[in-house]
Structure 1
Amino acid sequence: MVFLVMLVIAIAVVVLVMRAAATQGGGNGGGNGGLRRPPRPRGPKPPPRVVAPDDDPDFLRELDRRTRRDDGTASA
């Protein structure tokens, strides 16, 4: 009977230690019981999105400035 009680206590201690190790991230990543996702690989960032000239406000402003005459009216 004493052996059975000791076995139950030992199992409870092992389970508690395993849970504590999993929540602290002390495992090697394989035995965490699925509690966390593996970290994402950090590769190079994608290049910045290219903006077409007709969507670029600076380009449109410069184009508008070039097409205006000195007196402020638009040229044809």
Structure 2
Amino acid sequence: MLYLLALIGVVTVLVLLWKAFGPVTKAPVNGRVTGPDDDPEFLWRVNRDVHRKHTDGDTPTDSES
């Protein structure tokens, strides 16, 4: 029984040390993840493609070929 408690204690200490000194994961710069529908460049490209389809008629774009 004493060995089991010692093992649990060692595992607990190892987990705490891993959390304290283990590899660091980088958080996003602005604090949140930006999805493609929130990305201004993506929205600009979508708007540009929609505008091209409306002005050019049914001509295929580069992504449709």
TM-score norm. by structure 2 comes to 0.34
Flag the structure with larger Rg: 1
Q: TM-score, normalising length from structure 1?
A: 0.30
Hey, which of these two has a bigger chunk of helix by percent?
2
